Amino acid sequence: MDAKTIVGKFGFQVKEEPVSIYPFSPVYRIKRPDGEFIVKKTQNPIHKANRLMKYTKSLKEQGVEIVIPANISPTNPMTIDEVTYVVYPFIKGDFYTGEDREIKEAGYLLGKIHSLSDAENKYGLEPYEVYDFNNEEVKESYKNIVSNAATHNVDMNPQLEVRLLRAVSQQEELKLVGLPSVATPYDFKANNLVYVPHPYLIDPDNASWVPRVFDLALALLLFHNELASAPDEPFTPKQWELFLEGYEEEVTLTKEEKTYWPKAVEHVFLDEVMWLMADVEEDWQNPSQRNLFVSLTDLLMHFEEYRLT
């Protein structure tokens, strides 16, 4: 279905076909006299979307700066041609630039979100269950990574394949150990925050029930992904200390989480970073993303510098 029809279902009458402001998924910014809005895909089918919205509204009610569905008519969210969309108010603010204050406040926000999670999956969010990687797909992905890198005269560290294969061998242990899980947006990256002036989460649509240290590992690895105003490398060890300083104002991690932290980082790299480096060749054409990928490989080789205190 065309974008004009989709936004029209929510009562937005536009003369021209809306153009997505995000290259990888339909995200439409709509202006009208009563404000600006974002129309985007959310979790599907509708019952998952409704659970998500209950979760985000609960966070909002408890003081978390997070976007929730706009109070518009008709129903919001809504399923259109078997795809579920939601309308959010457009939140004006500044983009993240890597300043110390921004990093510490982002860590505090993630800690606040984690601290408000119930011990059980109260909202029925999708549980994390990605523990089925195999050696063959890692080897194939590594070949693609090497090919993508070579196109831009980058030599990949062969130890990357070794670490990824090690992560495969560890996944069953991580699945069975019973690490504490939390309800979380599980996409806590700088491109999903605006500062107003404190960080405000503007894209919670990947919310899931996830091992808490996996969410921290995702922030460590990909917080600077796909944002032009962010540094073209992951957190430095000092910046990571700042992020944790903010986070630990709200959360005290368990001894078990700290013990399994290195394996959690390797697993999240396997799950969330490997495919970016292997499958999204156009990212390698972007010098900033290319630098980020190289820096992420270096981080994986030296993540003892990124301890949990």
Domain ranges of the chain: 3-89, 100-305
H-run or E-run covering 31: strand 27-32
CA distance 176 to 135: 20
Strand 35-41 vs strand 83-89: parallel, antiparallel, or unpaired?
antiparallel
Tokens 């979380």 found at: 184
Q: Shortest CA distance to 10 belongs to which of 24, 32, 22?
A: 32
- 137-167 pLDDT, tens digit per residue, is 999 999 999 999 999 999 999 999 999 999 9
| 3-89 placed in CATH 3.30.200.20 | yes
Is the pLDDT score of 8 beyond 90?
A: yes
Average pLDDT over residues 271-295: 95
| 100-305 placed in CATH 3.90.1200.10 | yes
Q: What is the DSSP string of 35-98?
A: EEEEEEE-SSSHHHHHHHHHHHHHHHHTT--B------SS-SSEEETTEEEEEEEPPP-BPP--
Q: Shortest CA distance to 302 belongs to which of 214, 233, 215?
A: 233
- 3-89 and 100-305 share one CATH topology? no
Average pLDDT over residues 229-256: 97
Is the pLDDT score of 92 beyond 90?
A: yes
Q: Are 264 and 305 in contact (CB under 8 A)?
A: no
CA distance 193 to 41: 18
The token pair that represents 55 in the structure block: 């979760």
Is the pLDDT score of 73 beyond 80?
A: no
Neighbours of 124 (CB within 10 A): 15
Is the pLDDT score of 74 beyond 90?
A: no
CA distance 245 to 210: 22
CA distance 257 to 283: 32
Report pLDDT for 10: 94
Phi, psi of 63 (to 5 degrees): 95, 10
CA distance 20 to 125: 27
